[in-house]
Structure 1
Amino acid sequence: MQTGYYSSAAGMVSQFNRLDTIANNLANVNTNGFKEDNLIVGDFMRIYQEKRDELPNQNQTKEAAQFINRTMTKAPQIVDSYTDFSVGEMQKSTNSLDFALAREGLFFAVKTPEGVRLTRDGAFSMNDEGKLVTKQGYEVLGDDGKAITFATTDSAIEVDKNGQIYTNVPGGITLTPNKKLYIAQPENLKNLQKEGDNLYKLEDMQKISTATESGAVLQGFTEKSNVNAVKMMTSLIEANRLVGMYQKAMDTQMNDMNRDAIEKIARKA
């Protein structure tokens, strides 16, 4: 069996997966609050160093050497993926209903037809019913778990760094406390699942705490994507070149080496 061919094919598949992830990152480079995704390709040396004490054969023996040599021929593959939740660039806006979170690990909570979801995209607006909603029309939740609604007389809306909303007294300019934004803080960011529309899903909503004194809410700002376009373009070029290299290795295995072997066998015959 030509293990080199299968290893090259698997390596090409791994690079195809990388290309999909890189393309998605680049497509969202201008998406508010988007977080960059990355893949980890299995590396034999790293895996061996982590698992060498669990080898099925005693170390420094012929059996162990044979086991390691067989393992080294295994194909490279995607072994893990992760999302970079670092904070993106803050951009000033002219919309008083735009909000950004200046700390990592904090999210706004919104109500969708599938249940409560989390998002970092704070580019909100007010619908015809006076409710604070996302671009997709999902209701933004307050710390009481209900939608945030404004009256038609609320001509002045201000929000402090902890998400407390203040609106003006009808017919006056004095501000009075209204609802408060629900600033969600998941226990473990690794449990978040991307769901589309820049939303995150958490299976166990009990593993979310409320950051009542977050000090991270910025009114009149939007958080841009944390995708590094230059790094992504470099990774895109690298992945494309690796696909070409793997393709050449497969061609060499199936054509050049086989042809050479057939010619040698024919001469001996």
Structure 2
Amino acid sequence: MQTGYYSAAAGMVTQFNRLDVIANNLANVNTAGFKEDDVVVGDFMRLYKEARDELPHANNTKEGAAFINRTMSRTPQIVDEYTDFSVGNLQKTSNSLDLALSREGLFFAVKTPEGIRLTRDGSFSLNDEGTLVNKQGYEVLPADYFQSKTGISIANQDNIISIDKNGQISTNIPNSVQLTQNKKLLIVQPDNIKLLKKEGDNLYKFDNINSIKPVEESGAVAQGFIEKSNVNAVKMMTQLIETNRLVGMYQKAMDAQMNDMNKDAIEKIARKA
């Protein structure tokens, strides 16, 4: 009896964890550049049949056997977590400092107190010193940052700001419409996007950031656009309803298991009395 009770409790905990992910996705449905998180819920045997060639250990080995024994369970559990990095819809804003990346896997780079971080949110602006910053006030980095260690500055009198599809910034010569080149945006593409870690504020941490080289010809920068969140609100609401129903089902199973255990205990006590 206790085995069934604990299995139902474990299944409920799994659904609670799934609810946390769904709630976070829904909370960021209007956050520019946000990428949807998801979890894989299932029992090991089903996953083993679907992805046996991609398991972290070879078949018929001591390590493989230990992995199977450790993971084997009939209880639904979160067996994997991942982020969907697909490109969201681009929304036109006509703001010259709003930028979007139209290709998956590309990121802008910003300088934070904790180090360089990556982001897809291109809602940029100029601070009081004329430095290009993001919503949190972090400096947006240029392609030559690792050599120059300086940010991107735009003079107040530069009322024409043009940014091409590769991130090259050009501004007008004072009192004219003739453009001159400024710095170029640092646009990067990590080799393994799965190594990115979300840190809040729509930022990603990449441990080996100094190894990343600028993407010189990305062809993906869209000036005057913002990339919207790729969260599908309808799908999230459907998953929310499904998860709530599963929580209710596990609750009923736990109640039934507890009632049976109580009944069994009462009967045993009565017989001994």
Q: Secondary structure at the match of 2:116?
A: strand
Aligned partner of 1:64 in structure 2 is none
- Determine the structure 2 residue equivalent to 1:118: 118
Contact 2:97/2:125, CA 8 A, preserved across alignment: yes
Structure 2 CA distance for aligned equivalents of residues 55 and 218 of structure 1: 51
Helix, strand or coil for the counterpart of 1:100?
A: strand
Is 1:244 the counterpart of 2:257? The answer is no
Equivalent pairs, count: 257
Q: What runs of 5+ residues in structure 1 fail to find an aligned partner?
A: 57-66
For 1:82-136, what per-residue CA distance to the aligned partner results, in whole angstroms no more than 9, with x for missing partners?
0000000100003110000000000000011111000000011111100111111
Q: Secondary structure at the match of 1:232?
A: helix
Give the SS at the match of 2:217: coil
| Structure 1: distance between partners of 2:268 and 2:61 | 40
| Identity score, percent | 70
Hey, what's the Cα distance between the residues in 2 that align with 1:5 and 1:233? 29
Once the two structures are TM-superposed, the CA of residue 219 in structure 1 deviates from its matched residue by 0.2
**CA–CA distance in structure 2, aligned partners of residues 249 and 99 of structure 1:** 51
SS at match of 2:136: coil
Residues 1:252 and 1:55: Cα distance change in structure 2 (over 3 Å):
farther
In 2, the alpha carbon distance for the partners of 1:47 and 1:157 equals 52
> Residues of 1 paired with 2:135 and 2:81: CA distance?
28
Secondary structure, counterpart of 1:166 in structure 2? strand
1:62 matched residue in structure 2: none
Q: 1:39 matched to which residue of 2?
A: 39
Determine if the alignment matches structure 1 residue 199 to structure 2 residue 203. Answer: yes
Aligned partners of 1:109 and 1:183 also within 8 Å: yes
How far apart are 1:260 and its partner, in Å?
A: 5.4
Deviation at residue 208 of structure 1 after TM alignment: 2.1
In 1, distance between residues paired with 2:96 and 2:11? 49
| Alignment match of 1:152 (pick from 143, 149, 156) | 156
What CA distance in whole angstroms lies between the structure 2 residues aligned with 1:161 and 1:48? 44
Contact 1:35-1:84 at 8 Å conserved across structures: yes
Question: Where does the alignment leave 5 or more consecutive residues of structure 2 unmatched?
Answer: 63-67
- Corresponding residue for 1:131? 131
TM-aligned CA deviation for residue 148 of structure 1: 0.6
1:44 CA drift (Å): 3.0
Q: Output the CA distance in 2 between the equivalents of 1:48 and 1:98.
A: 45
CA distance in 2, matches of 1:181, 1:48: 44
From the superposition, tell whether residues 53 and 94 of structure 1 become closer, same or farther in structure 2 (CA, over 3 Å). Answer: closer
Pick which of 137-146 and 22-31 moved more. 137-146
RMSD across aligned positions (CA)? 2.4
* Superposition deviation, residue 252 in structure 1: 0.5
Which moves more between the two structures, 205-214 or 99-108?
205-214
Deviation per CA, 1:208-235, whole angstroms, max 9, x where unpaired? Answer: 2311100000000000000000000000
Local SS of the residue matching 2:175: coil
* Distance (Å, rounded) in 2 between the aligned partners of 1:172 and 1:72: 71
Q: What amino acid sits opposite 1:243 in the alignment?
A: V
Partner Cα distance (1:11, 1:170) in 2: 66
Q: Deviations over 1:176-220 (max 9, x none)?
A: 111101101111110000001100001111342311100000000
CA distance in 2, matches of 1:72, 1:34: 34
- TM-score (norm: length of structure 2): 0.87
8 Å CA contact 1:122, 1:134 repeated in 2:
yes
Query: What corresponds to 1:16 in structure 2?
Result: 16
Structure 2 equivalent of residue 161 of structure 1: 165
CA distance in structure 1 between the aligned counterparts of 2:140 and 2:59, rounded to whole angstroms: 51
Map 1:16-95 to 2 at 5 A. 16-49=16-49, 50=52, 53-54=59-60, 71-73=72-74, 75-95=75-95
Work out whether residues 43 and 73 of structure 2, in 8 Å CA contact, stay in contact via their aligned partners in 1. Answer: no
